[in-house]
Structure 1
Amino acid sequence: MKYYLAVDIGASSGRHIVGWIENGTLQTEEVYRFANGVKNVGDSLIWDIDSLFKEVVNGLKKAAEVGKAPSYIGIDTWAVDYALLDKDDKLIGEVFAYRDRRTAKAANAVHGLISFDELYKRTGIQFQQFNTIYQLYADKQSGKIEKAESMLMLPDYLGFLLTGVKKQEYTNATSTGLVNAKTHKWDGDIIGLLGLNNKLFGELSQPGTVVGELSEEIKREIGYDATVILPATHDTASAVEGIPIEDDSPYISSGTWSLLGLKVPDAITDDKSRKANYSNEGGAGYFRYQKNIMGMWIVNRLKDELCPEKTFTQIVEEARESTFNYSVDVNDDTFLAPKSMKQEFDVYLHVRPASCGDYFRCAFLSLAKSYGEALKELSENTGKKFDKLYIVGGGAKNTLLNEMTEKICNVKVIALPIEASAIGNLKIQIKGVK
């Protein structure tokens, strides 16, 4: 039996899921799961990259322990974050988390060199102050980038640590705001205007490309050999590959973020799309015309503050019993990285919630309303009418949110509480090997 391993890492947790073909059907088994999260170091938010890589290796060991050592391994993570390496391939400084606030001034400086209107026409990427383009410019302003010889997005960096081979995968690269939507290559004009070094931007590799064999050191540590292969390394790109969409229907990949969108053949970079803050991110042979909406991040932060001892099932039931019908704009920057999510809700709302159930009902209702607004924009911008909406990821298990979404969006919600990113990751590996 030939096994494939999807290492699917999100901002709050990671999982190792083994896949294999049995009687013509993809079978899966989760063999390892671990917690992930940002660290506060001084005034900065960073990823503990050493611990993260140790967990990747721990999962590789676990796959062998359960008798399913993979022949192929693919890694996907969230987008926009990256590692800078020096001439000796050593990490320069910390790997910043996208919620770090260092990019606010950098974004204004970038737009002083090239307007966002022009950026959008060229790349099709929505404005978010944590986009890689602004992070890299912040690193230029601080001097961090001066000694950099390589830039690798996070899954590419983890692949490099496993193999010693550097690849820059296409779908994740498009999230940087530095890839031209027409040529599908790094946009040299933008890179030149920002004064970034061209050597940081190599040839882009498509999903399904082989990275290389595991290094001798890793093979000795885990006890077997395997080949690392590129899935769609942006977890949402892999998730869309994992959704069994039967027609031209939109999707929500619901996790820390909720990404609502539609598969389209070409990027849509008109003024309506820019004003609606829609993004055109690369997929496996298409674009994902989508909008990033604050997702379960808000819910998880409220849970941590208000009732860490309760299960999500209990939280949903308490929200169902609540009659609190006020909402917030979940995409307001106030909720991006607050010290207290509860406090920000209290300040934002005119009527303060009286119970945990009130807070969570407010959060779910706010998400559903944002989905409704985004779906209306999607219909207007594409000229398409929708009667179905696929929802995958952890948020698909939230029955109350699904019901609210169905009512507000006036569509049939098809909730698939599957590990869509891991399934898409595995499908791309299997197709690439063939």
Structure 2
Amino acid sequence: MKNISKNTYLAADFGGGSGRIIAGFLHQGKLELEEVHRFPNRQVKLGNHIYWDFPALFEDMKTGLKLAAQKGYDIKGIGIDTWGVDFGLIDKHGNLLGNPVCYRDARTDRMPAEVFKILDEQQHYTDTGIQVMAINTLFQLYSMKLNQDPQLDVARQFLFMPDLFSYFLTGVANNEYCIASTSELLDARQRNWSVSTIRTLGLPEHLFGEIIFPGTIRGTLKEDIARETGLGSVDVIAVGSHDTASAVAAVPATEYPIAFLSSGTWSLLGVEVDEPILTEEARQTQFTNEGGVGGRIRFLQNITGLWILQRLMSEWKARGEEQDYDTIIPQAAEVEIDTIIPVDNAVFMNPENMETALTGYCREHKLQIPRNKAEMVKCVLQSLAFKYRQAVEQLNRCLPSPIRQLNIIGGGSQNKLLNQLTADKLGIPVYAGPVEATAIGNILTQAMAKGEIANLRELREIVTHSVTPQVYYPKK
């Protein structure tokens, strides 16, 4: 990276499979990025649960911060973003009570049914505006309550994953709005905790702390962290700390409403609006109202994304049949198979073997079974595009007018076949990129907090100047 004397911001971006530290700064109206450090993130099966290895992730993050310090950047801020819903609990001495449990853990199985014996489901959506998914924080906490988990008895503070990283960097505990909005415990209109929901479920009220918004200084590095990393006294800044919130902030578009598809392990498809949409139509079609940068609402559907393909690729690798995306995707584009699978079906959530689950589903439902790897890939991708079309049709019914284009951001925006299939199914142009949308949104939100950028519109103008999306038009 050039011009390291410029104000530099570090994005600590944690995904379900890996984390990385990315440095970025503004130069002549454009954002320049450099990946400083990348490290794995593993789900660990231990006893009865699946955990995230938080201590290892925190140590890897510190390694990245040290490497950044050694490069001589003039670092003005650190922003942290992660996946949604998962959390850790802190005791009265400031200690982590246990490794955070992964949302793919089975402890929330059947929990929605238990919760809606107590809550009225329709009223609950009117309050929280969140799509009911068993993985959501509400059901994780209620499972702990039903199972009399002793952590709830001794916990002093409840922190989502990015809040947890921030806390151990700064010693300051707070809950960032965007990540909190994934929990199904936030009042969608008030943008604060839904006290009535928390009380009705009998969850400990004292656990839920101050809600802060993107652009807020969360705290400064503790002295021991400042020394260990070599960074000195640096601000940790609240960004859209749900990774999708940061990614959506970096959509290089200004038309309204901005329609997006954050494409990765999960697909999050929706529009950015000023106020939550809490209609019965929205509830029935399973749309969710999550927080965004600038006080915006991300009105979206959570859809299983490239998870199925990622699992297939990892299984093929494990048995010595590794496939390269640059090879298998063009092969998939050349094959013909009519099979469409429901990507959100529970059978694909976390099967022991994804290939067996896919072929088994096709056999059971008398669908054409993919005969080779290329057909499997084509089946998965066209099934995703079909699901996107369904989601857009439902989305348009909730809006005053239909969306005119779709902006695909994140790692999945590199999948040319999926992008073209999506354009074909939707019948509208698809704009793909930036790939690094999450890191871009994270870094530019920090720059906005420090006064280098005036507002969200200017932030997006910088993105537009910095990246050139690839456009896919529907084939006639």
Is 2:281 aligned against 1:275?
no
Distance 2:120 2:43 in 1: 31
Distance 1:209 1:386 in 2: 32
- CA offset at residue 405 of structure 1? 0.4
Q: SS state of the match for residue 50, structure 2?
A: strand
> Which deviates the most, 404-413 or 414-423?
414-423
What residue in structure 2 maps to residue 368 of structure 1? 385
Letter in structure 2 aligned against 1:384: S
Distance 2:284 2:376 in 1: 30
- CA offset at residue 31 of structure 1? 1.3
Is 2:235 aligned against 1:227?
yes
Letter in structure 2 aligned against 1:190: T
TM-score when scaled to structure 1? Answer: 0.97
Q: SS state of the match for residue 253, structure 1?
A: strand
Distance 1:163 1:298 in 2: 37
Q: SS state of the match for residue 382, structure 1?
A: coil
For residues 168-216 of structure 1, what are the alpha-carbon distances to aligned partners after superposition, in whole Å with 9 as ceiling and x for unaligned?
A: 1011111111111111110111110010111111220011111111112
Aligned runs of 1:63-74 on 2, under 5 Å? 63-68=68-73, 70-74=75-79
What residue in structure 2 maps to residue 42 of structure 1? 47
Q: 1:75–1:233: 8 Å Cα contact kept in structure 2?
A: yes
Q: 1:185–1:204: 8 Å Cα contact kept in structure 2?
A: yes
For residues 353-379 of structure 1, what are the alpha-carbon distances to aligned partners after superposition, in whole Å with 9 as ceiling and x for unaligned?
A: 110111111110111011111011111
For residues 249-302 of structure 1, what are the alpha-carbon distances to aligned partners after superposition, in whole Å with 9 as ceiling and x for unaligned?
A: 411001110100101111111111111000000112211000011011111001
Distance 1:236 1:390 in 2: 13
Distance 1:245 1:132 in 2: 32
What residue in structure 2 maps to residue 91 of structure 1? 96
What residue in structure 2 maps to residue 152 of structure 1? 159
What residue in structure 2 maps to residue 413 of structure 1? 430
Q: 1:371–1:405: 8 Å Cα contact kept in structure 2?
A: yes
Unaligned runs of 5+ in 2: 1-5, 452-476
Letter in structure 2 aligned against 1:403: Q
Equivalent of 1:8, from 10, 13, 16?
A: 13
Is 2:197 aligned against 1:190?
yes
Unaligned runs of 5+ in 1: none
Distance 1:287 1:138 in 2: 28
What residue in structure 2 maps to residue 212 of structure 1? 219
TM-score when scaled to structure 2? Answer: 0.89
What residue in structure 2 maps to residue 143 of structure 1? 148
Letter in structure 2 aligned against 1:243: V
**Deviation above 3 Å: which 4+ runs of structure 1?**
none
- CA offset at residue 217 of structure 1? 1.5
What residue in structure 1 maps to residue 265 of structure 2? 256
Q: 2:110–2:134: 8 Å Cα contact kept in structure 1?
A: no
Distance 2:326 2:127 in 1: 44
Equivalent of 1:128, from 133, 152, 171?
A: 133
Q: 1:325–1:361: 8 Å Cα contact kept in structure 2?
A: no
What is the RMSD computed on CA atoms of the aligned residues? 1.3
Q: SS state of the match for residue 202, structure 1?
A: coil
Q: 1:306–1:356: 8 Å Cα contact kept in structure 2?
A: no
Distance 1:359 1:279 in 2: 30
Q: SS state of the match for residue 75, structure 1?
A: strand
- Percent identical: 38
Distance 1:311 1:70 in 2: 37
Distance 1:324 1:68 in 2: 52
- CA offset at residue 52 of structure 1? 0.9
Is 2:171 aligned against 1:164?
yes
- CA offset at residue 24 of structure 1? 3.0
- CA offset at residue 406 of structure 1? 0.5
- CA offset at residue 307 of structure 1? 4.3
What residue in structure 2 maps to residue 310 of structure 1? 323
